[in-house]
């Protein structure tokens, strides 16, 4: 049976009924970092609490990656099967702007300010067949 595992531990809750990205909030200055860190980039404080980030936000800026990156890029694709992918920063209210891949790669369907939801989907397979789960932002329905 195919097993699923997150692309990195601690990046988002997994497995979970309603997975979410994980950030760290500084208990001294209130600033949120993603991914969760052990100290605060804003004030150097080390008293931080890991919390789930909001699942919906707005697209702050975006682009489309048109060529296949070199390593450390690691997907199931080859130069022949590569598909351009969207990349953007999504502003999560009360939290932070998170950079991530977009499920949409058509510039005509991407607009600064549009609502986006974070989703967790299979990204690639390990040699043993396990599915590696990544996080993506999808235009809200």
For residues 1 and 81, which CB has a smaller minimum distance to other proteins in the complex?
Answer: 81
Query: Is 115 a residue that touches other proteins (CB under 8 A)?
Result: no
Which position among 14, 19, 25, 34 is part of the footprint of other proteins (CB under 8 A)?
34
Q: Identify the three-state secondary structure at position 52.
A: strand
For residues 110 and 141, which CB has a smaller minimum distance to other proteins in the complex?
Answer: 110
Nearest-CA neighbor of 73 among 63, 92, 87?
87
Q: Which of residues 52-81 bind other proteins (CB under 8 A)?
A: 60-67, 69-75
Exposure class string for 44-71: b at 16+ Cβ within 10 A, else e: eeeebeeeebbeebbbbebeebeebeee
31 to 20, 34, 49, 97, 141: CA distances (angstroms): 18, 10, 11, 12, 30
Q: Which of residues 83-102 bind other proteins (CB under 8 A)?
A: 85, 87-89, 91, 95-101
Which two three-digit tokens encode residue 62? 């975006």
Which residues of the chain form contacts with other proteins (CB under 8 A)?
Answer: 7-8, 11, 23, 31, 33-35, 41-42, 60-67, 69-75, 85, 87-89, 91, 95-101, 107, 112, 123, 134
């Amino acid at each position: 049976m195919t097993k699923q595992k997150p692309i990195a531990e601690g990046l988002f809750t997994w497995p979970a009924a309603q997975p979410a990205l994980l950030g760290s909030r500084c208990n001294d200055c209130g600033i949120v970092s993603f991914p969760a860190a052990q100290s605060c980039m804003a004030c150097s404080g080390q008293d931080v609490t890991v919390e789930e980030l909001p699942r919906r936000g707005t697209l702050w800026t975006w682009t489309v990656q048109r060529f296949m990156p070199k390593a450390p890029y690691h997907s199931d694709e080859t130069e022949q099967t590569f598909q351009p992918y969207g990349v953007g920063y999504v502003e999560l209210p009360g939290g932070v702007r998170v950079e991530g891949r977009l499920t949409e790669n058509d510039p005509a369907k991407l607009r600064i300010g549009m609502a986006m939801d974070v989703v967790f989907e299979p990204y690639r397979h390990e040699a043993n067949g396990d599915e590696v789960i990544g996080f993506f932002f999808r235009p809200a329905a």
